[in-house]
A and B are shown apart, each in its own frame.
Chain A
């Protein structure tokens, strides 16, 4: 996946807003690229460009088909967990029973055994986020665009979900663009961390995370990289 010198400007009531200015991003197949930056740095715009939901004003976006995973789970309240997970399969016209049968073993792998028939309202926040991730995974796209996937969770659940996601991606490699506000999350999960500036967003630092997995948050290498990223964001560590 390759994003080259991309700029994007929106017209707003108060004039033009430059969301992205000359942003370039490359991801090799199976690579996890974490993108951190202050609010409003155009991270969501970047993901929508990668997913083909928007077109760039200038520059080129070349990407294998990408599926989005939103920050809020956006599960359909009238569908069970298994039917929500199977939605990406149903989107492609797969029959209901076939889609359910394909999704069911994944729910088991994702620790949702016994909750297949539960509605989203009966699931915990972490469970809903796992169903949401599974839904995007089952879309079968080589690229996953994760938009602050755990931002809405409490700190303990978030830490659990980060370890869980690292394990899932180890066994199901995908090219991942992970947008996050959480520097620790970026360093623990990413192969590389891109640091973006405030609006108009541009890449100010590309940090290689050469730390063996599974990574511990308290690993001195992880802590040092966190400081490096925080410094690039202009925040004293």
Chain B
């Protein structure tokens, strides 16, 4: 799986027009607003966009304090996932036996239904941040492992041979050649991970928490504060998009060569 293919598959082309996205979002919001205003749905069950916007403003202090809780969980969870994924991918890269041994376990870890696992983890690890970090890291790290391994595998074998004729020690080949080559892969994996991480955070909070956007959402529905529940979802989405954008920025600053034609003359 080449990085270009992956990027294309995700629709991450650089030329993505913000104007186009804005038009689509406004059109969807307009249709939704009209549908509710014209009596298509009870506003208590499906709040109109203007009601959600009103809640975003009225409940801003509540949303903000709960956002901070979720943001901390997601950011720490992604960090844990990245460190764990890098370590695991490196070990799997070095030892073929371990790669084969870990692969089924890795895939198996992704088939665990998070809504079922989360309550069990809460029973085990308590109501603090720990079970949230475990859930977020669990849903995030797979994509990072896969893209990092692809990055390691994409290193030109002739380059490794060349370094061997220069007597470069194996450890140095890893640190100076393979790790920088895999960095763009790490970023691609992390960008996919942030999107699922916020979903993981919500499940973890619903399983047992007394703060966070997922908790707020779960509390708002039975009280028929649906506009507030939708507002919590909006904050989560904007947060995920912002994290994605931040990672894209960090990627351009850290691995600028991945954006340039490398000019391979072969």
Residues of A within 8 A of B (CB): 48, 51-53, 66-68, 70-74, 76-78, 87-88, 90-92, 119-121, 123, 125, 128, 136, 139, 141, 145, 152-153
Contact = CB atoms under 8 A, between A and B. Distances in A.
30 contacts: A51-B165, A52-B165, A53-B165, A66-B165, A67-B165, A67-B166, A68-B162, A68-B165, A70-B158, A70-B162, A72-B266, A73-B265, A74-B156, A74-B162, A76-B177, A77-B262, A78-B257, A87-B176, A90-B176, A91-B167, A91-B168, A91-B169, A91-B172, A92-B166, A92-B167, A121-B257, A125-B263, A128-B265, A139-B166, A153-B265
Interface SS of chain A: loop
B161 interface: yes
- List 9 A-B pairs, minimum CB-CB distance, nearest first: A91-B168, A77-B257, A91-B166, A68-B165, A152-B265, A88-B166, A72-B266, A121-B260, A51-B165
B163 interface: yes
B257 A152 contact: no
B18 to A, nearest CB: 27
Contacts, number: 73
Nearest to A125: B265
A48 B265 CA distance: 22
A48 B166 contact: no
Contacts of B262: 77, 120-121
Given A72-B264, A91-B168, A128-B265, A119 B162 contact: no
Nearest to A77: B257
B180 interface: yes
B53 to A, nearest CB: 45
Interface in B240-261: 255, 257, 260-261
A120 B265 CA distance: 11
A29 to B, nearest CB: 19
Contacts of A53: 161, 164-165
Contacts of A90: 176
A163 B248 CA distance: 45
A76 B263 CA distance: 11
B224 interface: no
B165 to A, nearest CB: 4
B159 interface: yes
Contacts of A119: 257, 260
A214 B43 CA distance: 89
A87 B166 contact: yes
A91 B257 contact: no
A145 B261 CA distance: 28
B182 to A, nearest CB: 12
A150 to B, nearest CB: 11
